[in-house]
Amino acid sequence: MKRSGVTNYLLLLGIGIIWGSQFYFNNQAMKVAPPLTIAAARALIGCLTLTVLAWFVPEQSPGTPGKGKNSWAAWPLYLSIALLEAVLPLFLVVWGQQRVSSSVAAVLTGTVPFFTILLSALFIKGKGFDVNSTLSVLLGFLGVVALVAPGMQGNWLDNVAGDLAILTAAASFAGSLILLHKIPHGAPIRSMRNILLLASAPLLVLSLTLDAPWSLHWTLSDIASLLILGIFCSGLVYMLYTILIHRAGSVFTSLTNYLVPLVGVLLGVVFLAEPFTVYNGLALVLIAMALGIGELRTLSKSVMGLR
């Protein structure tokens, strides 16, 4: 295997571990901070992290190639990605995680490639449904049902609302995955900094208006959780994610979502004493099968290209 192939797999592993850990740190931050404040802090700290990195890492201008150094042509794209990649999902995942366990949230977030297959077939020309994609959608749906069905007992309305919020976040991530491939090459740090800057503005205004975060009782542990979420789970990971998309393509990059549920479930079981039920296991298997079938043909080409 070529060195570039090894680098791609290391990036894949690093992204999966970082994003899989976000559910644990979300759970810690939720003890004191509301969802809007957590989302705003993640976007703002992530933006500041990438701003600092941009001072030390030489890159091209993040403007659209051929449009000039100070071009604003890429900003509508940045705004769309900011909404789909940060504003909606950063809030929805935390809001949903208030109603379901971090393990369930991790498995549901692992449906991002499933939604990517579905959205690609619906909105990308020439990407219609075939046998693989149809079977993938059916298995993915069964996996979600297996995970959500137990929540229909007891306070089912609140549980289902949490499930739907996280599924909506997964669909939003999938939409942004398609758009991320279009951002200008050669400037992943500055491009993601601009995206997080656009995302942090409305989230910060809403947080200051609705949550009054200065009145919350912060501890060092709470602040540490927010810093980790912002620096690693929003700042550095988005840079790595964009780099990997340009190196290996969106299909290969979406495989991080195999690792995200595994890491999220493991941390939830080990550190938060969350139960690992037969439904969790069944959903994990069905969703993994759905993703594998849906991406089998394209993935084999991507992996062969990395050798």
The range of the structural domain enclosing residue 36 comes to 3-306
**pLDDT for residue 136 is more than 80:** no
Average the pLDDT over 121-144 and give the result.
Answer: 69
Q: Which pLDDT value is given to residue 59?
A: 72
Token pair in block for residue 240: 């790595």
pLDDT of residue 280: 76
- Please give the C-alpha separations between residue 143 and each of 104, 111, 170, 231, 256, in angstroms, as whole numbers: 12, 9, 14, 32, 18
What's the mean pLDDT when you consider all of the chain?
80
The winner for highest mean pLDDT among 49-63, 97-111, 160-174, 290-304 is: 160-174
Q: Each residue of 275-288: pLDDT tens digit?
A: 877 877 887 787 77
Q: Which two tokens stand for residue 75?
A: 């900003």
pLDDT band at 121 (very low <50, low <70, confident <90, very high): confident
Stretch 266-270: mean pLDDT, rounded?
83
- Among 23, 35, 82, smallest CA distance to 213 is for 35
Whole-number Å distance between alpha carbons of 135 and 114:
11
303, two tokens:
């992996």
What is the spatial distance between Cα 144 and Cα 130, in angstroms, rounded to a whole number?
A: 21
pLDDT of residue 52: 93
Which tens digits make up the pLDDT trace of 94-111?
Answer: 999 998 888 788 878 877
3-state secondary structure of 128: coil
Tell me how many domains the chain contains. Answer: 1
Cβ distance 287 to 111 under 8 Å?
Answer: yes
Res 48 pLDDT > 80: yes
Per mean pLDDT, which range of 16-20, 76-80, 85-89, 154-158 is the poorest? 154-158
Q: Write down the number of H helices and E strands in the chain.
A: 14, 0
- Comparing C-alpha atoms, which of 252, 300, 281, 247 is closest to residue 132? 300
47: part of which helix (H) or strand (E)?
A: helix 35-56
CA distances from 98 to 11, 29, 103, 160, 173 (A): 30, 11, 12, 12, 20
Sequence-ordered list of residues with C-beta below 8 angstroms from that of 204, at least 6 positions apart, any chain: 40, 43, 44
Give the confidence band of 143 by pLDDT, cuts at 50, 70, 90: confident
